[in-house]
């Protein structure tokens, strides 16, 4: 880490840095140090770190799988091997100070509920917050996310719009597609104009928001005893 302000060093030592021996909560280095220790512990327990997502850890044995994903200091453990899942939870409790919050209900903007049919995922709060932030809470809802047969293009004299806001909205809506895959086509259309959006493109974004207003609590079902 960089030398702290006010540290008296000679001219020859001004380019030196300090070796971090212990991380304190709140320091920018602490999260990296904690995750390094966490990764080492997970590997010691026989878990493999995913190459595509370094926060994902997997363990496969006897035809079963146990997975763990971590975000900052929150984590989700799942899989089809109850004994291994319990063993992992006990191991982590010994290695780190943590609390078991029970069955998953909410993680990273996604709400989880269970029924006799299976597991439902939704992003109702996320959708309502997005409508509130964009001033669309009182908008007139529509039944489809995009107008049928709509042809968008970049016109020479098109009305200008806030490029940064447009890009942020597309990104926020893309995250909603995790539980609303039917938004994929509409989002693929508006994402083509991220570099040079115009008024008609922003109007298309607004229509998607109006569609969300129609049913902000729609859910996706992962049914029980289904192989696909």
- SS3 assignment, position 30: helix
Alpha helices in the chain (DSSP H): 30-44, 82-95, 124-133, 163-176, 184-190, 199-214
Comparing 148 with 28, the larger pLDDT belongs to 148
At 140 the pLDDT is 93
pTM of the model: 0.73
* Residue 14, number of CB atoms within 10 A of its CB: 9
Q: Which of 178, 181, 172 is nearest to 133 (CA)?
A: 172
Alpha helices in 45-162 (DSSP H): 82-95, 124-133
At 12 the pLDDT is 67
Over the stretch 86-101, which tens digit does the pLDDT of each residue have?
999 999 999 988 888 8
Over the stretch 193-213, which tens digit does the pLDDT of each residue have?
998 888 889 999 999 999 999
- SS3 assignment, position 69: strand
DSSP for residue 106: E
At 45 the pLDDT is 92
């Amino acid at each position: 880490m960089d030398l702290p302000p006010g540290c008296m060093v000679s001219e020859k030592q001004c380019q030196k840095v300090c070796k971090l021996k212990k991380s304190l909560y709140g320091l920018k280095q602490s999260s990296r140090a904690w995750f390094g220790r966490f990764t080492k512990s997970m590997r010691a327990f026989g878990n493999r770190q995913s190459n595509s997502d370094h926060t994902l850890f997997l363990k496969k044995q006897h035809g079963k799988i146990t997975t763990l994903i971590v975000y900052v200091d929150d984590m989700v453990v799942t899989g089809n091997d109850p004994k291994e899942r319990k063993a992992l939870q006990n191991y982590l409790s010994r290695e780190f100070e943590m609390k078991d919050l029970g069955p998953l209900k909410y993680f990273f903007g996604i709400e989880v509920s269970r029924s006799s049919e299976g597991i439902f995922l939704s992003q109702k709060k996320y959708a309502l917050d997005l409508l509130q932030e964009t001033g669309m809470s009182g908008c007139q809802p529509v039944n489809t996310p995009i107008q049928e047969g709509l042809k968008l293009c970049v016109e020479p004299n098109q009305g200008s719009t806030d490029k940064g806001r447009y890009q942020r909205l597309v990104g926020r809506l893309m995250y909603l597609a995790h539980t609303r895959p039917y938004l994929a086509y509409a989002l693929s259309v508006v994402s083509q104009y991220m570099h040079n959006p115009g008024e008609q493109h922003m109007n298309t974004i607004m229509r998607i928001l109006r569609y969300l207003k129609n049913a902000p609590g729609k859910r996706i079902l992962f049914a029980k005893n289904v192989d696909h």
